[in-house]
Amino acid sequence: MNKKDLILRTPLIIRFCHWVMVCLFILTAFSGLSLFFPSLSIFGLFLGTPQLVRALHPILGCIVFVILIFMGIRLAHHNIPNKDDLLWIKNMKQVIAGQEGGIPIGKYNVGQKFLFWSIMSLITVLFITGLVMWRHYFSDYFPIPVVRIAIFLHSLAAIALILLAIGHAYMAMWVTGSIKGMITGYVSRAWARKNHSKWYQSEMEKVFQNEELKSETAPKTESK
């Protein structure tokens, strides 16, 4: 496909952080499940011995948190709710049926915004509770009841985040072109117009403005 028919949707730095975070999140989730459910100890084999799993799990979790916070800062302004989201909610059946045409959708729709803020909230809970229950460094500074509450909240947040991640992966496969867009960074104009019409219009305006600017600054040849 001609690159002129494509729109840059995801910058390289965000794509790089996304895929690094995905790999680390899988390792963190598997190691956490192996620690929480002894019957799933096989999941911890990806990191090595049980002792190594216990040592690496919180470190990997901290790295995932830092990457997600960085991505969150870069993407937060695209995920602020607005009045157009109400129209998306009212026409949810139409959206699910793949008939979003006519609904003004920005760079991210309501479902994606909900996913974004849910992930940011859950990873914050996981980070704070993880520090409280981190035995080698911080847990001795907190009363045992506080540590127990942290373990409980940490477990709930972890399960919720894993389920959200699975749902996110499913939706990415369901919407054709989404995964390719996260790999290459580009989506087709047709894809953008169908799935995110308002964002598509704003991007096209930028393209037309750039073309007009180039035509105005281009040297004019004198006719003989």
Longest pairwise C-alpha distance within the chain = 90
Q: What is the pLDDT of residue 223?
A: 47
pLDDT tens, position by position, 62-120: 999 999 999 999 999 999 999 888 888 887 777 766 666 667 889 999 999 999 999 99
Active site residue 77: no
Structure pTM?
Answer: 0.84
Task: Please report how the helices 110-132 and 50-75 are oriented relative to each other, as an axis angle in degrees rounded to 10.
Answer: 140
Q: How far apart are CA 3 and CA 139, in angstroms?
A: 54
- Helical pair 144-174 and 12-36, crossing angle rounded to 10 deg: 130
Residue in 8, 15, 25 with CA at minimum distance from that of residue 162: 25
Q: Residue 118 in 3-state DSSP?
A: helix
Selected catalytic residue, list 18, 154, 168, 196: 168
